[in-house]
Amino acid sequence: MKKTLNKAILFKAITIAVMILLMLIPLVFVEGIIKDRDRYKDEAVSKITNSWGKQVTLAAPILNIPYTYSEVTETFQDGKAIQKVATRTAYAKFAPQDLDVDVNVSSQIRYIGIFEVPVFSADITIKGYFETINVPEDAYIKDAFVSLEIGEVKGISEPVFIWNEVPQKFEPSARGEALRLTSIPKSDKYYRYDYTYGGMTLNSLNSNINFKNNGSKFELKFSVKGSESISFIPLAKKNRFHMSSDWAHPNFAGAFLPDEKNITDKGFEASWDINYLSSGVPSRFDNKDLSSAQFQTSFLIPVDNYRSAARAEKYGILFIALTFIICFVFELANRRPIHPIQYLLVGFAMVIFYTLLISISEFINFSWAYLLAAVAVISLITAYAKFGIDKSLSVKNIAIIALALSFLYGYLYILLQLQDMALLYGSIGLFIALSVIMFMTRNVGWYEER
């Protein structure tokens, strides 16, 4: 007996494959919507941070001593080389011997439209000691000054500075050259970290001092407003940093992680103990790039609805394909034809799930938004199966459809909650789905007997 391919089944399978590919088009539009809303949120966040304060980068008080040096330049006139000697002024930068930094960060949420932006105010106390140094030749010790170099000065309060028990004042100044960092640790809203190259030049606040080069103690207190993160550069030979905050979701990055940390739902405490051998910062650094010594603490919202929606959308074509295949198997097993247009309508319903998810999650918790969107789509598809595809469906079959879709969306939610294990659970889920489909189609007549 000769066997030939069942052309009806083959044609229907090809048609379904084409429809699955067609569903990529609305999914691309959904992806664009998610990106546009995410970009709109970033613009809203920028309005807050530009007014309140951006990421804070801080270098400890630095001792600056001006000195002169000779610079020889050569020019040519009438074919003859003419040398000119000019006297230039430069600034030698010296790090403290000891540095003890205490940071107390108070966080708050600011709103712009429907978006919330975490910002903070940091109260910073710095105590330290400058040892006797080797003064450069042609140095002007009487003109020495201390600089506080900071990336964001918009939200800084007037510092209280005490040098050898004598109060001093800081002021903006063009003297010297502020530190330039060629790269800075940059965190995005997804907790990924990268280094932004091109860097930044810190702002310098200077204070005149009575420097006698016989060992000097200092204390500095100020507060600064910022958002997203606060970074420090450990300049001293011995650095001790302690940070406390009411923010329950910190993230630590950069050159050094905390030696000790305690994170609870009410906030966190962290401490660092860093010496100059590990930081690589010499006692005198002048124009040295100190980017590699920075460490950072970020204050970010741990769950971002746009990130979660984007991850869910990436599974969209897979879940639509699984749903179409399930419908195809149901069609073969029960010998009840389903029109291609009906397949497309079911596919569009699954696409609308993502627009519902992203729009609802802008107003309520993502988990509740996911539940509402999933219930709405499952109810719509189940009702359509009963009243639009086959009115003779039994309660049992309707329950099976609803249960299958519930399992599908429940499984997607579990994948969204996983990070390191998402690939493993995703692979296991596909294996189980394929096994079920193979079992259900074991009696399908793929060939016609003649």
User: What's the DSSP call for residue 70?
Assistant: E
Q: What is the mean pLDDT of residues 361-371?
A: 87
Residue 244: pLDDT band with limits 50, 70, 90? very high
What's phi and psi for 190, nearest 5 deg? -100, 15
CA–CA dist 194, 349 (Å, integer): 38
- Given a contact cutoff of 8 angstroms between Cβ atoms, the answer to whether 358 and 37 are in contact is yes
| Residue/partner pairs of 333-342 with CB below 8 Å, 24 or more apart | 333/440, 333/441, 333/444, 334/397, 336/389, 336/390, 338/389, 340/15, 340/16, 340/19, 342/384, 342/388, 342/389
Give tens-digit pLDDT for 402-433: 888 888 888 888 877 776 666 777 777 778 77
Task: Check whether 193 has a pLDDT greater than 50.
Answer: no
Percent of the chain with pLDDT over 70: 86
> Which residue type does 356 have?
L
Give tens-digit pLDDT for 301-318: 766 778 888 878 888 888
Domain ranges of the chain: 3-40+306-449, 55-302
Residue 385: pLDDT band with limits 50, 70, 90? confident
- Given a contact cutoff of 8 angstroms between Cβ atoms, the answer to whether 48 and 227 are in contact is yes
> Which residue type does 323 have?
T
- Which pLDDT value is given to residue 103? 95
Among the ranges given (228-232, 305-309, 329-333), the one the predictor scored with the smallest mean pLDDT: 329-333
Across 36-45, 101-110, 171-180, the highest mean pLDDT is recorded for 101-110
Q: What is the mean pLDDT of the chain?
A: 82
Give tens-digit pLDDT for 392-404: 777 887 888 888 8
Task: Check whether 11 has a pLDDT greater than 90.
Answer: no
**Between 332 and 123, where is the model more confident?**
123
- Given a contact cutoff of 8 angstroms between Cβ atoms, the answer to whether 153 and 225 are in contact is no
| Cα distance between the two ends of the chain | 6
- Which pLDDT value is given to residue 300? 73
Among the ranges given (61-75, 185-199, 228-242), the one the predictor scored with the smallest mean pLDDT: 185-199
3-state secondary structure at position 141: helix
Chain Cα centroid distance, residue 20: 34
- Which pLDDT value is given to residue 303? 62
